[in-house]
Copies of this chain bind each other. A is one copy, B any other.
């Protein structure tokens, strides 16, 4: 069903942007895993609005609680359930939008799907706010992977035409700059661009790079649960994502075979490839190289300019001015969501492998778990 995703892990979201709360429940983490609520809080903070002067200044209190699945600091084998309350949601604000769909938003498609009974307040169950509980659940996966030596590194690769020339070398490294582009110079350029865009009442697109390091070979299921299939399914559920490419992606479409193939060698410890045009994935299965992909994030559709639209009742041409404070470049705040959903997908695939060595790497049992904790 469409509010749940996953195979061995199962993530379900519930609630709505302007209701009482949003939440998620994550099934499939075995009993006895130590969970750090501080780490979860840090990841939620990374997605939070008004995180800097180049993101929306809208105030949201994203404090969360875990209402089940933990006994003390450890999982009890039942689903982890996260709740984030919505405070002070003003739905009246949205009444003026009812019959005038915002271009680029889901207003029109919600009308087409649900007709008069749709939930049109602030995106309802399609709101970006639904990604907060995704981050809560996904950050648990990201943290479990980190302990197992698998790092879901991510950064903003481009904003407008400005392209990062550096990579982030840890899952959190990108968060030291405002734009989450790793190199300081490009960051400064992009901040200027965004301020200019903000002053115009406009927005700008961007792209996100994910590079998952330390993932063992042999992950991914043949045919329909290829690594690319599973990751793209998860990532395209994040609002504003419109494209994904693995490894050299679209560049492969114009390459010769002799240039595109990644030569295999033994590096003294494991089999490896000299290049990574395939983004660490062959036949849908990891080869031990970094799983590498890039995602396009479209510019925020909510902009301050007055926009042409149509009245859904009269069918006449109309206009709309979207109020409120919106992100000039949503790619910045989308980064932690893409990282967390990627972590969810990768952990799910590792469990799906059914390989007991990999299961032990991810969830060391008994004594090993204790040793792990003592580190």
Contacts and interface: CB of A to CB of B under 8 A. Distances in A.
Contacts of A219: 113
A127 B130 CA distance: 29
A78 B27 CA distance: 20
A25 interface: yes
B30 A124 contact: no
B256 A224 contact: no
A282 B8 contact: no
Highest count of chain B CB atoms <10 Å: which of A12, A239, A273: A12
A166 to B, nearest CB: 18
A225 interface: yes
B125 A222 contact: yes
Given A106-B282, A243-B250, A308 B233 contact: no
A248 interface: yes
B237 A284 contact: yes
Number of copies: 4
A266 B310 contact: yes
Interface string A303-319: 10101111010011100
Interface string A1-36: 111111010101111100111010101101110000
A214 interface: no
Given A2-B27, A30-B354, A77-B222, 13 more contacts: A1-B221, A3-B27, A3-B79, A3-B222, A21-B68, A32-B117, A68-B125, A71-B119, A77-B118, A252-B296, A252-B297, A257-B303, A263-B307
A342 interface: no
B8 A4 contact: no
Given A8-B354, A30-B354, A282-B105, A257 B300 contact: yes
Contacts of A263: 103, 307-309
A54 to B, nearest CB: 15
Nearest to A197: B256
Interface in A207-238: 207, 216-226, 228-230, 232-234, 236-237
A250 B104 CA distance: 16
Interface stretch (A40-48, A142-150, A178-186, A285-293): A285-293
Given A3-B222, A103-B263, A110 B252 contact: no
A90 to B, nearest CB: 16
A236 B287 CA distance: 17
A343 B221 CA distance: 23
Contact of A104 (B27, B112, B282): B282
A356 B359 contact: yes
B351 A356 contact: no
A1 B312 CA distance: 38
30 contacts: A1-B6, A4-B27, A13-B223, A14-B25, A21-B68, A71-B119, A74-B117, A75-B117, A79-B125, A103-B263, A104-B278, A109-B281, A109-B286, A109-B287, A112-B285, A113-B353, A202-B257, A204-B257, A205-B255, A205-B260, A229-B236, A243-B246, A243-B252, A244-B244, A244-B245, A258-B303, A260-B301, A261-B303, A263-B308, A278-B298
A127 B30 CA distance: 19
A51 interface: no
A169 interface: no
B257 A104 contact: yes
Contacts of A248: 242
A282 B102 CA distance: 11
A282 B109 contact: yes
A253 interface: yes
Contacts of A246: 242-243
